Amino acid sequence: MSKSTEPRGTLAIQILAMPAHTNANGDIFGGWLVSHMDMAAGIEARRRARSRAVTVAIDSLVFIKPVYVGDTVCCYAELMKVGRTSMQFKIEVWTLALQEEEPKKVAEGLFTFVAIDEHGRPHAVER
């Protein structure tokens, strides 16, 4: 886990955590957060590949702090590596709460995508 005081990468998604996204403890459900991390990586993969791109792996995922109802959830994507057909993105999730002035990092992960053509076959990504 990286120890930074501000987000790294491009803001790919920003969304408000709502009551419908909670788990049995009243915090935001981890699966909801992971889906937005995957979507943020997918947006950047599609942009980078200039084509469809699919998730092939979540190489690591760490939940650092809970996310609460009312938090603004911000997913930042940073391209870490480009292979022949694959791209790996580090996704950092930061939240902004109304009661706090400073954003806090709540999760991060590494997501690998493969660029695919219109027939669903992998194709080369420009390096």
Domain ranges of the chain: 10-116
Rounded mean pLDDT of 74-94?
98
pLDDT at position 114 is: 98
Model confidence pLDDT, tens digit, residues 25-44: 999 999 999 999 999 999 99
Residue showing tokens 């994507």: 77
pLDDT at position 2 is: 53
Share in percent of the chain as helix, strand, coil (round to 5): 20, 45, 35
Enter the CATH code of domain 10-116: 3.10.129.10
Model confidence pLDDT, tens digit, residues 103-112: 999 999 999 9
Is 10 a residue whose pLDDT tops 70? Answer: yes
pTM over 0.85: yes
Closest alpha carbon to 92 in 79, 105, 73: 105
Model confidence pLDDT, tens digit, residues 52-70: 999 999 999 999 999 999 9
Q: What phi, psi does 123 have (nearest 5°)?
A: -135, 160
